[in-house]
Chain A
């Protein structure tokens, strides 16, 4: 029988960190921690047989090597074949047919801008993800009007932060989720207690309705980095390799109606009404922030999670443009969450 060699599948990609590594399974949307010694082995031996490994590392390492290989087999990170030549690496380019892919619009009781013209502009830019953050009470009829006006737009997914109000019972919120399937998450803040509801009729069965006692009264709540926010998939991984996973193709409107990359950033690009979103995109100062990727960010560039992690450029350590997100508690040099 011909000799069979082991090779990682193209969608299982090892990423090395300062103290340990991970294998990102981009197909099954999951990752596994591995020691750096296994990462190095995989780099030195893109194809191997067990005999070859034992020859290279010595008989003493036999047990560890067999343990490594059975780990890779168990997770189906690779396969044994006698000819691997036709198996190609994954194309890691990222592009989207949209000028803008995501947007945040903030509102409080002093806001004096209209939503609809912004929605129209976002639609022209083929924006798909929208976050609406209401820091104060917002009228029920008005919310329904806004959502209805998005019914035929390019927006596929809407996340809403809503101030709890007597106008809405839990039932009302659930009815809203059903009536507007584009709402993927509804967070009701300033609530009396923390509660979530899994809506069985909601197509993804996500936690669609979430009450929190946290008071979200301005943009400062944003920017947290957490392993729960990791996304291990081709789209995120490829975007993270080249671009900033928070700010790339994002445009936002802060509560004062000012155009910005994100409401927490101090630099503003004129008031909506006086300036257009489209014109802002021509400004290089605006778009340059899109390309700050994790390989350029201090600490993150040594972190094994860098291509599955989110990022924040508004709240950074020491407020420096290339330091790590201030609200991340992970230390890649120790491999510990603090």
Chain B
């Protein structure tokens, strides 16, 4: 039995499941919105397993799990039975918080237990600290963009002198939000395509700056257990997308074509993925006009369909193969 943990609306999960069905492989899916009831979590000399029950009464016994795919999301435990008996109007909030914290640790334990299976990623590695990842990439011998986090204009100025034009990015997660202004809705992003030094205030919220790369093209790489599926993205032609591919240009989409990574880069990326304990993930890189490969980031739960479909890589099928207990 293959266990998949995912969010309820994830298209990639559905596509992989079609392949599992086609191959006649048994699977069970838990999505993050389904509250599970814990029947047992056992840890002794012989085994480390758990059993949970879904709201529809199906039991999932990890002894029967032959492979585990952490796609995205998290496990959710039914708190009703755990808390309801103890809580009443007088119950102190403090107590409730304590119980919630205990439950969260228990959920962690379940995630640890699953991580011991033959697996494709884990909950623990779903949201890696980006600074940590860059540091590991450097250790693996990959080139990374010079990166600075500061609140001071003076420090920013020095860095800019040394590195030329800069871009800014979120420290961990970017968001886009819209504000209503006189002229209507305006969209704001938590990254800038090139920082205008003249409008930087003396003191500001800690911001991450990176040297702006002189890119020939970008690479989006899907890594799966030492195999690489790479797509080159030509975005420079179009001013609108000169810095970030995600700033989509729908009228004339960027060219996205299959690409083969140099052996040397593959070796370094494999080392990086192993040090991050990732069996799969979407890696972003830039190839500069001087043919230097620069590592940007890795997203363990990224939408790999955006690489698979344009390049006809059949990644859903390849993931199903990986999960097959007897390939």
Contacts and interface: CB of A to CB of B under 8 A. Distances in A.
Interface of A: 9-11, 27-28, 76, 79, 81, 83, 86-93, 95, 97-98, 126, 234, 238
Given A86-B262, A92-B312, A97-B19, A27 B255 contact: yes
A76 B252 contact: yes
A238 B255 contact: no
A83 B291 contact: yes
A81 B310 CA distance: 21
B134 to A, nearest CB: 24
B256 A27 contact: yes
Contacts of B310: 11, 27, 234
B312 A234 contact: yes
B155 interface: no
Nearest to A233: B309
A79 B236 CA distance: 11
Contacts of B305: none
Given A76-B237, A93-B312, A88 B259 contact: yes
B251 to A, nearest CB: 10
Contacts of B257: 9-11, 87-88, 90
Interface string B297-327: 0000000000001111110110010000000
A97 B19 CA distance: 5
9 contacts: A86-B232, A87-B258, A90-B257, A90-B312, A91-B312, A97-B21, A97-B316, A234-B309, A238-B312
A97 B22 contact: yes
A27 B314 CA distance: 16
Contacts of A93: 312, 314
Given A9-B257, A76-B237, A126 B314 contact: no
Of listed B22, B258, B312, residue having the most chain A CB within 10 A:
B312
Interface residues of B, number: 28
B311 A28 contact: no
Contact of B259 (A28, A86, A98, A126): A86
A87 B257 CA distance: 8
Contacts of B320: 97
B312 A79 contact: no
A97 B309 CA distance: 15
B258 to A, nearest CB: 4
A83 B232 CA distance: 13
A107 to B, nearest CB: 28
Given A88-B259, A89-B258, A126-B18, 14 more contacts: A10-B257, A11-B256, A11-B310, A27-B310, A76-B237, A79-B255, A87-B232, A87-B257, A87-B259, A87-B260, A90-B312, A95-B314, A98-B22, A234-B310
B22 A91 contact: no
Contacts of B18: 97-98, 126
Of listed A76, A83, A92, A97, residue having the most chain B CB within 10 A:
A97
A93 B19 CA distance: 16
Which A-B residue pairs are the 8 nearest by beta carbons?
Answer: A97-B22, A88-B258, A97-B18, A97-B19, A91-B312, A10-B257, A86-B260, A9-B257
Contacts of B258: 10, 87-91
A95 B309 CA distance: 13
